[in-house]
Amino acid sequence: MKSKKNKSVLILLLLVLMSLPSLSASGNNYGKKKHFVLIHGGSHGAWCWYKVATLLRSEGHNVTTLDLAASGLNPKQVNEIRSISDYYEPLMALMESVPATEKVMLVGHSLGGVSTSVAMEKFPHKISVAVFATAYVLSQSLSYSAILSEISRRNVSLMDTQFFFGDGPTKPPTARLIGPKFMATHMYQLSPPEDVTLALTLVRPVPIYNEVALLEKETTVTSSRNGRVPKIFIISKDDDLLTEDFQNWMIQRSHPFDDIKVIEGSDHMVMFSQPTKLASHLLQIADMF
């Protein structure tokens, strides 16, 4: 009798466990290994994804974090970047190397959304879904120049940002570097202090592109290619750089999105302030696509 009772209890426990929802996945693609490509924002590098990349890898997925040109450990210097195509070239080289039979999941943060959008245009057949985490989104109806104009109109204080004049003091600046006060106030205000310390030692100047016609040419996307790739936006609720209002401004001008998710209690550096929530959303999205 006791043996039968124990078996009944075990069966009941198994049934209960089987009915519990999974924290990492829930759909038809559960258990399938995915390839995430994480694309950093301006002045940052692959290093900023260390928390999220660890969480995704712990679920058995393949994760690539790359440095765009003159970023992170990339050997190029900012004065060698003459156009935005030079800047996003490492991502395009990576996408070129992806076998035609495979697809990756792109995740762009902040300025990394521009590179993500261009990759969607150039390699739509190699991308299962593109995720924009409080990132710039380019579409047929929203150009990079329009985004920059809107940012300028909103007049965010640049505080202690440094500017560099690679073409001479009488010419427009060719690069900028965010300062510690700007970072603490607008980007990292909800992030752990040790991550701010890490960033202060690793950020690098980001190029400024003064040739508007060339910038437009190298960031133009179309509905027939870029528009074929499913895309999802993740709103960072308490972002003080790309505010929630600005994120919604971009969303309204770059529809359609397959989904829009919101992370609360996160600053601009959502991968530092809410890494677990961000990773959880990415795992759910991977399960959908």
What would the two tokens of residue 132 be?
């924009």
61, 268, 273, 287: the catalytic one is: 268
Residue the block writes with tokens 């959880």: 280
Q: Which of 161, 181, 164, 150 is nearest to 245 (CA)?
A: 150
245 counts as catalytic: no
24, 110, 139, 273: the catalytic one is: 110
110 counts as catalytic: yes
Q: Tell me the residue type at 27.
A: G
How far is 255 from 100, CA to CA, in rounded Å? 27
61, 71, 115, 239: the catalytic one is: 239
Burial of 219 (0-12, 13-18, 19+ CB in 10 A): buried
44 counts as catalytic: no
How far is 17 from 74, CA to CA, in rounded Å? 47
How far is 95 from 121, CA to CA, in rounded Å? 11
Q: Are 263 and 274 within 8 A, CB to CB?
A: yes
Q: Which helix (H) or strand (E) holds 209?
A: none
**Catalytic (active-site) positions:** 110, 239, 268
